[in-house]
Chain A
Amino acid sequence: MKRHLLILLTVAILVPSFAALVIGGAGMIQHKKAIEVVAQSYVKDLAQNVAGQIESGWEMGRGFARLERMMRVHRMNFDFSMPGWVAVVDSGGRLLVSTPGADILANLWRRELPVGTAVDIKSSEGEWFTLAAYPAGETGWFVIAAVSWNDLLGPMLAFNRWPLFVGITGFLGLLSVYALWRWLVSPLRSLESEVSVLKWGREVPEEDDPRAVFELRRLRQVLYQLALSAVERAKLMRRYVSDLVQVQEDERSRLAREIHDGPLQDVTALIQQLRLAASELQSGDPGTRLQFAEEGAVQAVRELRALCDELSPPWLDLGIEQALHELAGRLSRHLGLSVEVEAEGDLSLSRDVVLAFFRVVQEAVHNSARHGQAESVTIRLFREENSVALEITDTGKGFEGKVDVEALRVSGHRGLANMSERMSLVGGTLDIRSVPGGGTTIRCLVPTTSAFAGNDRPRRP
């Protein structure tokens, strides 16, 4: 079983309270029983004692006077310390003498009550008394002694609303559990659920939770600070990577331009001069050397163009739609598979996004051919509600399971990681879905806010 904090807290609060309640209750019940026994023997002894005194006094002829004096002594005792009452009644039940407040005894005592033993009686008001009556010798009188439970047992025992006690304890216990839930468990849980799905380096948790206990608030603030610095670091890292990519792309396009404007033109001019030279030869036969030279130069032109394509094709400037068609044509010729493009027109994407899409498609189609043995690839470019979507779907063999881009990168397969990196650099996402035997789909989304031209960051001079 899971040891949930809330369960532990509930048990920790309720078990000791109820244990205290039960132990205290048991003690009080014991105590009450003991007091009852004491009360019984007390009233019995008292009644017997007074009855004995009356009897002996009567015999000595002191009669009523002694009785009166005796009662005075008892009265003083009762007034100050002894709980209960003593009274002497005649056989008709009339009070002859009594300690103060003993009128109640006249109401309680009835002739039918057993004599010489203690009984528990309930008054008409519902109060409990322990009472004992003793006959006082030959006089025909009875000595009645009684104590009230209320006086004797004390407030704790007198309090007999035990269920209420349990109820209040239980209620207070639940109240504490609720307080702990609200200030401790629930904030802890929300912190846990927030942190568990937190994209480290991209998101930060809430900075403060006013409901939580102080320690939890501190913990949250510390986590917030940590997450914040991770975001900062990730930002720096992305900027660094982005700069690297930017520099690389700039360098590539500079090189491509250099090749295009320099060697490519020079060799082209060379070919022209070779052809002119050949045509001006008197013999009319261009000669094998000139022909070889021309063939070599033509080959050089093709290679230079291919090199430009490899680095940064100049036709990227035509816009994404044309660039995708051109790339598709070239890849399909080069890799021997069918590459179809379905591109929505009039998408004047920013140069960074064009470049990112271009590199992703390049990599993806190569992967489809190399790893998927796909026969056809479809590239779709379309606008969605808040983004521009690029989808590359192949009919290759697909693969099982989820793609862990980072794991692939670590194991040296940087292609997918680079694709994903490219997309994140232009603020987009890349998602790969594949079914074994059912082909692979790579889906890139770039939010409209960063996709279109005019949102370009300033280019390097």
Chain B
Amino acid sequence: MSIRIVLADDHPLTRVGIRDYLLKEADFELVGEASDGIEAGELIESKRPDVALLDIRMPGESGVSLARKIRSSVPGTAVMMLTSYDAQQYVLSSLRAGAKGFVLKTATPEELARAIRIVASGGLYLDSEVSRAMEGPAFSPENLSAREREVLLEAARGLSSKEIAGKLYISERTVQTHLGSIYDKLGAKNKTEAMLLALKYGVVSLEELLE
């Protein structure tokens, strides 16, 4: 059973590169290519692929807003963002829009293939370059305590430390301590990175984090 893929990217050269990456894998079937957001939307609606690889910045419609549409119109298609830009906020925006994966165009063919397989099987994939723990690949995260998980989830919803303190009936200082410990455990430098790393390590699920 092959994985059916649609590729949308407005840069012909990188599109060619990605296409050649995909063709190397025997179980991948590239069912369509698009060079702008609108064309990609139509293609996905008609072909209903397993995975849609979308560039974020595309003429016509951006990958993020396209992902939001696909989530409701073609729920069977897993969207994976493919971008040349490593902004963590792109990752979060994409995930909030319903994307299941985020890969940089500079990813190796192997990483791209692994990502597509994970996403196609219902998993979540985040590029190592945008959610890189400071300690390197050998780093293994400690488990978060129940309280820390709670604090992280509230922070992910955009609450400030003060608001979290009020909601959980603890002091602001305690919230800061929890956040510090979360950063330490995940190897993150800030809230966004902590969220991404928690997702990546499966410490929290996408649904928990973004709802």
Contacts and interface: CB of A to CB of B under 8 A. Distances in A.
Interface of A: 260-261, 264-266, 268-269, 271-273, 275-276, 279, 298, 301, 305, 308, 313-315, 318, 321-323, 325-326, 328-329, 332-333, 338-343, 345, 380
Contact of A340 (B18, B90, B108, B191): B191
A275 B87 contact: no
A326 B85 CA distance: 12
24 contacts: A260-B57, A260-B85, A261-B11, A265-B11, A265-B14, A266-B13, A268-B11, A268-B13, A268-B14, A268-B17, A269-B17, A272-B16, A276-B17, A276-B20, A315-B90, A322-B89, A325-B191, A326-B87, A329-B189, A329-B190, A329-B192, A340-B190, A342-B160, A380-B160
B161 interface: yes
Contact of B86 (A269, A305, A340, A341): A305
Given A272-B16, A308-B85, A318-B90, 7 more contacts: A268-B11, A269-B16, A275-B21, A276-B109, A323-B89, A326-B88, A329-B190
B89 to A, nearest CB: 4
Given A275-B109, A276-B20, A276-B109, A314 B57 contact: yes
Residue of B13, B189, B190 with most partner-chain A CB within 10 A: B190
Contacts of A261: 11
B64 to A, nearest CB: 9
B109 A332 contact: no
A272 B158 contact: no
Nearest to A298: B106
Nearest to A315: B87
B189 A322 contact: no
B84 interface: yes
B14 A345 contact: no
A261 B17 CA distance: 16
Interface in B33-60: 57
Contacts of A321: 158
A342 B190 contact: no
Contacts of A313: 87
Contacts of B178: none
Contacts of A269: 11, 13-14, 16-17
B193 interface: yes
A273 B105 CA distance: 12
A170 to B, nearest CB: 69
B158 A345 contact: yes
Contacts of B3: none
Nearest to A324: B89
A439 B105 CA distance: 42
A272 B190 contact: no
Residue of B86, B87, B158, B162 with most partner-chain A CB within 10 A: B87
A285 to B, nearest CB: 16
Interface residues of B, number: 32
B17 A329 contact: no
A315 B87 CA distance: 7
Contacts of B11: 261, 265, 268-269
B165 interface: no
Contacts of A301: 84, 106
A93 to B, nearest CB: 115
Contacts of A298: 106
A329 B132 CA distance: 13
Contacts of A275: 21, 108-109
Nearest to A336: B189
A260 B93 contact: no
Contact of B189 (A268, A326, A333, A341): A333
Interface string B63-107: 000000000000000000000111111101100000000000110
A150 B42 CA distance: 124
Residue of A271, A276, A279, A329 with most partner-chain B CB within 10 A: A329
Contacts of A345: 158
The 3 closest A-B pairs by CB, nearest first: A272-B17, A269-B13, A342-B160
A390 to B, nearest CB: 14
Contacts of A380: 160
A265 B109 contact: no
A380 B189 CA distance: 18
Contacts of A341: 191
B24 A325 contact: no
Contacts of B16: 269, 272
Contacts of B90: 315, 318
Interface string B1-31: 0000000000101101110110010000000
A395 to B, nearest CB: 12
Interface in B145-167: 158, 160-162
A318 B193 CA distance: 17
B106 A279 contact: no
A276 B190 CA distance: 36
Nearest to B11: A265
Contacts of A279: 24, 109
A340 B191 CA distance: 8
Contacts of A325: 88-89, 92, 190-192
A255 to B, nearest CB: 15
B110 to A, nearest CB: 9
Nearest to A271: B106
Nearest to B180: A338
